[in-house]
A and B are shown apart, each in its own frame.
Chain A
Amino acid sequence: MQLSTKHLLGIKDLTAEDISLILSTATQFKEVLQRPVKKVPSLREITIVNLFYENSTRTRISFELAEKRLSADTINFTASGSSVSKGETLLDTVNNILSMKVDMVVMRHSASGAPHFLAQHIPAAIINAGDGINEHPTQALLDALSIQEKLGTLEGKKVALIGDIMHSRVALSNIYLLKKMGAEVMVAGPPTLIPKYIKEALGVKVEYNLKKALEWCDVANVLRIQLERQNQVLFSSLREYNLAYGVSKKLLDGLKKEIVIMHPGPINRGVEIDSDVADSKQSVILQQVENGVAVRMAVLYLLSGNKSA
């Protein structure tokens, strides 16, 4: 039993069966993470390089933990203070690393499509840990696992993605995955942060009023305001954003039903989400982090069969 792809470049390339396989395998790995010895020998002879051209703490640690729990050998590469600052190209860097017999590459890069470019030129299996404003497939997978755990299934569930949709690879991966698995998707936020033809292009509902979005949904996935990706000023101030689009306890308590609150992290407390919401019992934010390691273990395990020579 295998995934239909050799790499994990994006949710776009996965079938619903692939997604189900990853989620059920992740569930088995969650059980492994409860054992006294949180390790299995499955990837014992595999070496993985974590190629992070962009800052990340959470994703990189999550991947590193997943790799170590599978008994793989891991190498970490961060762009600053490396050959990249000496002008080495992406392809040269990777080929150099691969000639040291590294089997798999986990990559985060600020250019959309960087892992796809790499996949055309190197034999190793590539896992996209986030490319520009394109996709972040493992995040969408762990989000899906978290929803499934809380609500039983994804099919027919109403999920609202709230915030900076325009610059969010988490949003795009989630939209692809949720639609493939039969969920209904809405994007909500200020009009300046929602791409113009997203409704027609991706088949999602669009809502500019936060209260209406929360009244409609079963799950609210709150996205971080991405200050580092915005060159223009797309809303007046953080305070104004919070007043119009911040998810507050008052809003949640005013709804007819209890909705599930998610956030990919890191949280800007008091901007897109208030502290009492993030820490409430409706929030699965910490379970998302726990699921992240299990999901990444599942992806690495399922892709490890295609070891390069």
Chain B
Amino acid sequence: MVFIGMQPRGVYISGKIVESIKKIAPNENVQYGILDITFYRDDVRDQIRIANRTDIPFSVEGKEVVLIDDVLYTGRTIRAALDALLDFGRPKKVSLCVLVDRKFNRELPIQPDYCGKAIDSVISQKVKVEAESEQVILY
């Protein structure tokens, strides 16, 4: 199993999760990478965004990949992540782990396999995950 954190906001959570896993299973070789999907966005023409670093220092070929992000909202980031991942190789399986699932805001058929908390929020409401204070704020 290999873990990939989504840039920019998923990397804090994914870093913490991988740290915990390493403590639980210290003899396993836990492989961890970070992925930025700016160039794969489906709205790339509407607003040109700056890309963050992508660093996947291992092959994903034949591996079970767990994508980790902070909030699952419309699902478009994960769709882009699947496209990007397939350009790195053919994983055996890809699953999704998110801290917060905004259940009713999905625009694509994508669901998490591992979820911290599912929230019934409406589009006008906001969900903010703060890394430093380790809080999830709904407003």
Contacts and interface: CB of A to CB of B under 8 A. Distances in A.
Contacts, number: 47
A295 to B, nearest CB: 14
18 contacts: A28-B36, A28-B51, A28-B52, A28-B53, A31-B53, A32-B39, A35-B87, A35-B88, A36-B87, A36-B88, A39-B87, A40-B40, A40-B87, A41-B40, A42-B40, A302-B48, A305-B46, A305-B47
A305 to B, nearest CB: 4
Interface in B34-62: 36, 38-40, 44-55
Contact residues on B (Cβ < 8 Å of other chain), bracket: 20 to 34
Interface of A: 1-2, 21, 24-25, 28, 31-32, 35-37, 39-42, 45, 301-302, 304-305, 307
A42 B48 CA distance: 10
- The interface residues of chain B, by DSSP majority, are classed as loop
Contacts of B52: 28
Contacts of B87: 35-37, 39-40
A308 to B, nearest CB: 12
Interface of B: 36, 38-40, 44-55, 83, 87-89
A305 B39 CA distance: 13
A31 B47 CA distance: 22
Contact of A42 (B44, B53, B54, B55): B44
Q: Which of A1, A25, A40 has the most CB of B within 10 A?
A: A40
